[in-house]
Amino acid sequence: MQHVKIPQDRIGVLIGEGGETMREIESRAEVRLDIDSENGKVDVEKTGDPILGLKGPEIVKAIGRGFAPDEALTLLEDDMMMLDVIDIDAAARNQNDLERQKGRLIGENGRTRELMEELTGASVVIYGTTMGVIGSPQQVDVVRSAAEMILDGAPHGSVYSFLERKRNEMKRKGMEFHQFPG
């Protein structure tokens, strides 16, 4: 059994209308979820395939970090799919700096976050003090590097060039490149 803590305001998303999302996660990941809506603690117990069951806590954590349930469930599509959470707060000196850093990662009208998704094929969400990434190890690695460049103060133009270069490298190597649904 694993324990995952998620923010209060994400519990409703995890449960879904009439418990629909929770039941879908339980069925597809072969786990049982015990959700304490008072404190946001979720117990994840494997009920079937132990390998599949390992993805259960990751799906819960992804939803807790701001992903829509259908995006979080893409973790089950492939053994290599993974979730990475980048702590933006760790790169910030204070609250104002945190807001500025989040703004830089999101970009004007969400353009920077969108480009990270478009050029890598990963799914990217910025929620609270974290940035979540779901994708293959290569995709996640490229997004993490781009995010770290932005958090270190690199100009957006050079980050976009880096992302373009990495996308071309992934295509040349014939790495799986698939877009996430909208």
Q: Which fold has domain 82-172?
A: Ribosomal Protein S8; Chain: A, domain 1 (3.30.1370)
Closest CA to 121 of 107, 138, 104, 106: 138
According to CATH, where is 3.30.1370.10 located in the chain? 2-67, 82-172
Residue 181 has pLDDT above 90, yes or no: no
List Cβ neighbours of 25 (8 Å cut-off, separation of 6 or more). 14, 31, 33, 56, 59, 60, 69, 73
Return phi, psi of residue 144, to 5°: -60, -45
- Computed over every residue of the chain, the mean pLDDT equals 93
- Global pTM value: 0.91
CB of 15 closer than 8 Å to CB of 61? no
Return phi, psi of residue 134, to 5°: -120, 130
Q: Which fold has domain 2-67?
A: Ribosomal Protein S8; Chain: A, domain 1 (3.30.1370)
Q: What is the pLDDT, as a whole number, of residue 170?
A: 86
Per-residue confidence band for 51, with pLDDT thresholds at 50, 70 and 90: confident
Burial of 131 from C-beta contacts in 10 A (0-12 / 13-18 / 19+): buried
Residue 157 has pLDDT above 90, yes or no: yes
pLDDT tens digit sequence for 71-107: 999 999 988 999 999 999 998 999 999 999 999 999 9
Residue 182 has pLDDT above 50, yes or no: no
- Which run of H or E residues covers position 2? strand 2-5
